[in-house]
């Protein structure tokens, strides 16, 4: 694919890029309160570095693995780094998405009460550098250091507005769950290392785990990376942390950071371990489908736009993990070709999600800046005030809704194709189960489209629900650049699926020793996973047909009805007074879903009666996992703390008695 | 006692005096008398160290003797006296448990200590090994004194007396610790004493009293 060949010393360049990001961040600390310096100089420079990373990663996708031992780390415990197709793919994802986000950030950050801009800049670039380090780390030690640096940097970014108590709480929740995950990952590496000489991934690759140990390692990885990715039931931090964080940070966390967890899952399951059991795949598949459905149903009833997108991220991660489970399933039964197709779909969807979710989060940032509103109930009609943002958001919305010819369609279509191949599996139980999962995924995808119509319709269409929305301004120059880049990515990934799949293919070759392209009868125009007779998709033809249809329709309409338009007041149902607040609201839009899936929600609803002088209506929809899992744990911890508190009497003589009796007991037993 | 040399018998006598003084401190209510008893215990300790040094020809123990004498018989009692004069706290005080009960518990502790020290002193090769039980008993008794007292100064004296017991155990069972350790401990005790002295002033300033019951207010209230 790359005619130029892999760049010489690509890994050295990647390491240099990581160092450059850290250095740029540190430069921001020189003048922490100068917004101009940070936003006009450092963020664009960081974006250029990101672009460079994208190019290098793209060129080294099909290069042979390179590794390096860094002169960093503890004595006798240096950092190992390695660049192989899997890391290159995720580096590409990080670089491409963060290029857009960095450009956007250059115009986004304003002086505020919270963290000064220079410090934000430092945390932001350390965050980028840590994410890049995670995917090139080649030993458990370097991996954990990068992983923790990533968690901490993002924690500080989430709590940018740290003077607000809710935001501090959201940050704490995020940090807590990140650390639960980190512990599981650490244990997972401990299991994988299996008493080897050191903690490099090479040692782990050469280890053969026996008995229940591979299963233990797999499930520890699933919990650890699942906590970061937002798998049920550890997804609770997403809807809290994303609204709390500044929009570029939510964009990076949702679009890019969640993917590092997917990277970790793939790395541990397919690279570091040699055996995959079929029922691991079933567990991941079930978990993924449940997560996807849960995420999308909750996204449908949200009234805060960033919370909505956070739940939508949960849904997308669910779809990705379902695909991951299916890959394991195929792999366990030795169907490497099908596994390769599924893995392609997983990686493709990860890349797509990085583009469209980042785009949409950045859009919410622009809307937030323009209107100071996050609640969907107070927005509306912004397409007239913010045409740039609105049209670019439309691209992202259509992409995430999975409509051709944009990118969301391609990966979801590929994944469903993979699901349809399951009847070739030898086990009838799985053959019965997987179509159910496929139905679940389809339902999630369809509901996602519904959610996105709600998001776009309520924010940009209709009439402004509040008076001050009339003063909303469009995004600035840098913000537009960032949004255009991401929207262009969505379109390009949708139009050129064959090229993208060819580019991803070295990852298949590395992880599964199989290629997804070889079997397909497709060419550059036609995407055909197995053979062209069975199913194929050509985005260019779809695009041409769509454009042709639209143009033709417009022509015809123009021709036959031209000049016959007359304006008249619409019928107002006999009710003369109409305000913009009477439009369909976000709650109203989500209401059918709320009705259908009522048993899954914890709804707290206040309905006014006919006699209320000041009628009020509110609905609060809580996450049931709080009361199912987290509150019982919290209560148990409080109870245990109270028991321990009993021995705290606050009297010196009692404390002395404790040590006295301890001394006596020790003397008695030791003698 | 036929095979035991004279100096060893003398040490046994001093050990008995040490234990007796420990009991006396446990029973004593007046703070000034308590300090005098503490000084007397220090004196017994210094003499016994000197005797061990003479009897076993361990010249470095002479330094210990001088150090013990200077620190525990002169310096610390003087500091304590000064503290009491400055703080003006010449009261008598009540223990948490009444004195007879305390004494009974003390006797139980002594029995326990002797029982505990028996196997160890059989292993030791020194002539003064039988005093190990006494040393341990005086540590325990000082600890008990710290527990049963309510005011800050007797607790500190209990703490210092505990160190006396430990020191006696060290000299009698093993002919003393290395010089460096001994110097270190001596310095620790002195510094600890000075810091506690500062704390006394702080506590009194906060609560107008040295009664440690006031510190219980620092506990988190129950829900």
Chain B residues near residue A657 by CB distance under 8 angstroms: 147
Average pLDDT of the segment spanning A45-73: 86
Q: Is the pLDDT of residue A663 over 60?
A: yes
CA proximity to A473, closest of A100, A107, A42, A103: A107
Chain B residue with Cα closest to A670: B116
Strands A66-74 and A602-606: unpaired
CB neighbour class for B14 (10 Å; exposed up to 12, middle 13-18, buried from 19): buried
Q: Which of B120, B143, B155 sits opposite A660 (nearest CB)?
A: B143
Are residue A484 and residue A335 in the same domain, yes or no?
A: yes
Q: Which of A649, A656, A668 sits opposite B147 (nearest CB)?
A: A656
Q: Is the pLDDT of residue A354 over 70?
A: yes
pLDDT of residue B219: 61
Beta-carbon separation of B147 and A657 below 8 A: yes
Q: Which of B116, B150, B218 sits opposite A650 (nearest CB)?
A: B218
Average pLDDT of the segment spanning A132-139: 91
Min Cα separation A664/chain B (Å): 9
pTM of the model: 0.76
Q: Is the pLDDT of residue A566 over 80?
A: no
pLDDT of residue A1: 39
Alpha carbons A488 and A479: distance in angstroms, whole number:
14
Does residue A194 form part of some domain?
no
Beta-carbon separation of A667 and B150 below 8 A: no
pLDDT of residue A607: 79
pLDDT of residue A570: 72
Q: What percent of chain A has pLDDT over 70?
A: 94
The per-residue pLDDT of chain B, averaged, comes to 80
Residue ranges of chain A whose CB lies within 8 Å of a chain B CB: 645, 648-653, 656-657, 660, 663-664, 667-668, 671
CA proximity to A231, closest of A294, A285, A291, A312: A291
CB A178 within 8 A of CB A155: yes
**Which of A3-17, A499-513, A533-547 shows the lowest per-residue confidence on average (mean pLDDT)?**
A3-17
Q: Is the pLDDT of residue B91 over 70?
A: no
What DSSP string describes B18-59?
HHHHHHHHHH--BHHHHHHHHHHHHHHHHHHHHHHHHHHT-T
By the CB < 8 Å criterion, does B102 face chain A? Answer: no
Beta-carbon separation of A656 and B146 below 8 A: yes
Q: Where in A91-214 does DSSP place strands (E)?
A: none
Which residue, among A652, A662, A664, A668, would best test binding to B if mutated, counting the most B CBs under 10 Å from its CB? A652
Structure tokens at B31: 């703070």
Min Cα separation B213/chain A (Å): 7
Strands A77-83 and A602-606: unpaired
Beta-carbon separation of B212 and A663 below 8 A: no
Beta-carbon separation of A649 and B219 below 8 A: yes
CB A466 within 8 A of CB A316: no
- Total CB pairs under 8 A between chain A and B: 39
Average pLDDT of the segment spanning A307-335: 90
pLDDT of residue A500: 83
Q: Is the pLDDT of residue B221 over 60?
A: no
A17-43 residue pLDDT tens: 889 999 988 888 888 777 788 788 888
Does residue A186 form part of some domain?
no
Are residue A649 and residue A500 in the same domain, yes or no?
A: no
pLDDT of residue A3: 43
Alpha carbons A364 and A373: distance in angstroms, whole number:
10
Residue where one domain finishes, among candidates A463, A484, A517: A517
Average pLDDT of the segment spanning B100-127: 81
The neighbouring-strand residues paired with A68 are A81
A642: containing domain: 628-671
Chain B residue with Cα closest to A663: B140
By the CB < 8 Å criterion, does B148 face chain A? Answer: yes
A220-258 residue pLDDT tens: 999 999 999 888 888 888 888 888 888 889 999 998 999
Are residue A499 and residue A354 in the same domain, yes or no?
A: yes
Chain B residues near residue A656 by CB distance under 8 angstroms: 143, 146-147
Q: Is the pLDDT of residue B223 over 50?
A: no
Query: ipTM for the complex?
Result: 0.80
Does residue A632 form part of some domain?
yes
pLDDT of residue A2: 40
Chain A residues near residue B119 by CB distance under 8 angstroms: 671
Beta-carbon separation of A652 and B218 below 8 A: no
Residue where one domain finishes, among candidates A456, A489, A517: A517
Are residue A481 and residue A348 in the same domain, yes or no?
A: yes
Q: Is the pLDDT of residue A505 over 70?
A: yes
Alpha carbons A188 and A179: distance in angstroms, whole number:
14
Alpha carbons A560 and A542: distance in angstroms, whole number:
27
CA proximity to B203, closest of B213, B193, B191: B213
Beta-carbon separation of B144 and A657 below 8 A: no
Report the domain count for chain A: 2
Average pLDDT of the segment spanning B146-165: 84
pLDDT band, very low/low/confident/very high, at A351 (cuts 50, 70, 90) = very high
Q: Is the pLDDT of residue A127 over 90?
A: yes
**Which of A79-93, A237-251, B55-69 shows the lowest per-residue confidence on average (mean pLDDT)?**
B55-69
Chain A residue with Cα closest to B137: A664
Does residue A552 form part of some domain?
no
The per-residue pLDDT of chain A, averaged, comes to 84
Min Cα separation A637/chain B (Å): 16
B206-220 residue pLDDT tens: 777 767 667 666 666
Higher-pLDDT residue of B144 and A578 is B144
Alpha carbons A480 and A569: distance in angstroms, whole number:
37
Q: Is the pLDDT of residue A45 over 70?
A: yes
Most confident range (mean pLDDT) of A280-289, A459-468, A645-654 is: A280-289
Task: State whether the Cα torsion A429-A435-A438-A443 is positive or negative.
Answer: negative
Q: Is the pLDDT of residue A58 over 80?
A: yes
Most confident range (mean pLDDT) of A282-286, A458-462, A627-631 is: A282-286
Does residue A423 form part of some domain?
yes
Q: Which of B120, B144, B216 sits opposite A650 (nearest CB)?
A: B216
Average pLDDT of the segment spanning B88-103: 74
Are residue A632 and residue A513 in the same domain, yes or no?
A: no
């Amino acid at each position: 694919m790359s005619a130029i060949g892999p760049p010489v010393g690509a890994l050295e360049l990647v390491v240099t890029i990581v160092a450059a990001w850290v250095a740029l961040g540190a430069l921001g600390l020189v003048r922490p309160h100068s917004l101009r310096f940070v936003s006009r100089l450092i963020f664009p420079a960081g974006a250029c570095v990101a672009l460079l990373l994208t190019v290098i990663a793209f060129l080294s996708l099909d290069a042979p693995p390179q590794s390096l031992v860094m002169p960093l780390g503890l004595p006798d415990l240096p950092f190992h780094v390695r660049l192989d197709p899997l890391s290159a793919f995720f580096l590409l994802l990080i670089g491409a998405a963060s290029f857009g986000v960095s450009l956007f950030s250059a115009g986004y950050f304003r002086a505020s009460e919270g963290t000064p801009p220079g410090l934000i800049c430092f945390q932001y670039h350390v965050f980028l550098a840590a994410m890049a380090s995670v995917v090139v780390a080649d030993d458990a030690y370097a991996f954990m250091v990068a992983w923790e640096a990533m968690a901490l940097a993002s924690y500080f970014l989430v709590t940018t507005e740290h003077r607000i108590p809710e935001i501090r709480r959201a940050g704490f929740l995020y940090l807590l769950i990140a650390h639960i995950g980190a512990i599981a990952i650490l244990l997972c590496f401990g299991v994988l290392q299996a008493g080897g000489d050191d903690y490099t991934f090479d040692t782990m690759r050469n280890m053969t785990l026996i008995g229940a140990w591979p299963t233990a390692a797999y499930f520890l990885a699933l919990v650890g990376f699942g906590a970061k990715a937002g798998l049920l039931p550890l997804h609770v931090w997403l809807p809290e942390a994303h609204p709390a964080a500044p929009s570029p940070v939510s964009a990076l966390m949702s679009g890019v950071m969640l993917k590092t967890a997917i990277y970790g899952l793939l790395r541990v399951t397919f690279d570091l371990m040699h055996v995959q059991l079929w029922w691991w795949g079933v567990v991941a598949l079930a978990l993924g489908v449940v997560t996807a459905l849960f995420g999308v149903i909750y996204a449908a009833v949200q009234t805060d736009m960033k919370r909505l997108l956070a739940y939508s991220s949960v849904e997308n991660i669910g779809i990705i993990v379902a695909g991951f489970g299916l890959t394991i399933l195929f792999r366990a039964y030795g169907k490497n070709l099908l596994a390769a197709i599924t893995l392609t779909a997983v990686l493709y969807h990860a890349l797509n999600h990085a583009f469209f979710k980042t785009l949409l989060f950045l859009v919410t940032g622009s809307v937030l800046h323009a209107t100071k509103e996050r609640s969907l109930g107070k927005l509306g009609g912004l397409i007239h005030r913010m045409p740039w943002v609105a049209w670019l958001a439309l691209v992202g919305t259509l992409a995430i809704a999975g409509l051709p010819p944009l990118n969301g369609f391609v990966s979801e279509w590929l994944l469903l194709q993979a699901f349809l191949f399951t009847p070739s599996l030898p086990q009838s139980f799985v053959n019965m189960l997987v179509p159910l999962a496929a139905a679940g995924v389809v339902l999630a995808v369809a509901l996602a489209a519904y959610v996105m119509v709600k998001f776009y319709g309520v924010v940009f269409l209709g009439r402004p629900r509040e008076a001050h929305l009339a003063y909303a301004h469009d995004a600035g120059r840098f913000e537009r650049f960032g949004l255009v880049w991401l929207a262009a990515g969505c379109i390009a990934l949708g139009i050129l699926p064959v090229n993208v799949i060819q580019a991803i293919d070295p990852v298949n070759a590395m992880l599964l020793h199989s290629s997804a392209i070889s079997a397909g009868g497709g060419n550059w125009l036609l995407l055909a996973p197995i053979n062209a007779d069975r199913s194929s998709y050509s985005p260019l033809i779809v695009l041409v047909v769509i454009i042709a249809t639209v143009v033709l329709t417009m022509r015809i309409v123009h021709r036959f009805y031209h000049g016959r338009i007359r304006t008249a007041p619409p019928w107002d149902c006999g009710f003369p007074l109409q305000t913009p607040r009477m439009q369909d609201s976000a709650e109203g839009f989500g209401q059918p879903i709320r009705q259908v899936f009522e048993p899954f929600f914890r709804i707290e609803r206040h309905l006014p009666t006919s006699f209320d002088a000041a009628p009020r209506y509110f609905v609060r929809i809580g996450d049931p996992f709080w009361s199912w899992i987290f509150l019982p744990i919290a209560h148990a911890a409080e109870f245990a703390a109270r028991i321990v508190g009993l021995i705290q009497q606050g009297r010196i003589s009692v404390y002395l008695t404790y040590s006295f009796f301890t001394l006596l007991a020790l003397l008695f037993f030791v003698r | 006692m036929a095979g035991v040399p004279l100096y060893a018998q003398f040490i046994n006598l001093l050990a008995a005096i040490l234990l007796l003084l420990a009991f006396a401190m446990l029973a004593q209510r007046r703070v000034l008398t308590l300090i005098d008893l503490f000084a007397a215990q220090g004196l017994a300790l210094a003499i016994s160290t000197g005797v061990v040094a003479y009897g076993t020809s361990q010249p470095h123990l002479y330094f210990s003797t001088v150090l013990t004498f200077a620190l525990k018989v002169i310096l610390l009692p003087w500091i304590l006296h000064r503290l009491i004069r400055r703080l003006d706290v010449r009261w008598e005080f009540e223990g948490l448990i009444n004195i007879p009960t305390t004494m009974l518990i003390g006797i139980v502790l002594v029995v326990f200590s002797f029982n505990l020290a028996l196997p160890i002193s059989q292993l030791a090769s020194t002539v003064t090994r039988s005093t190990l039980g006494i040393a341990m008993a005086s540590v325990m008794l000082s600890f008990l004194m710290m527990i049963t007292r309510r005011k800050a100064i007797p607790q500190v004296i209990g703490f210092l007396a505990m160190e006396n017991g430990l020191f006696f155990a060290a000299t009698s069972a093993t002919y003393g610790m290395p010089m460096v350790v001994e110097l270190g401990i001596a310095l620790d005790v002195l510094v600890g004493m000075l810091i506690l002295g500062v704390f006394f002033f702080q506590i009194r300033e906060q609560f107008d009293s040295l009664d440690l019951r006031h510190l219980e207010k620092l506990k988190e209230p129950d829900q």
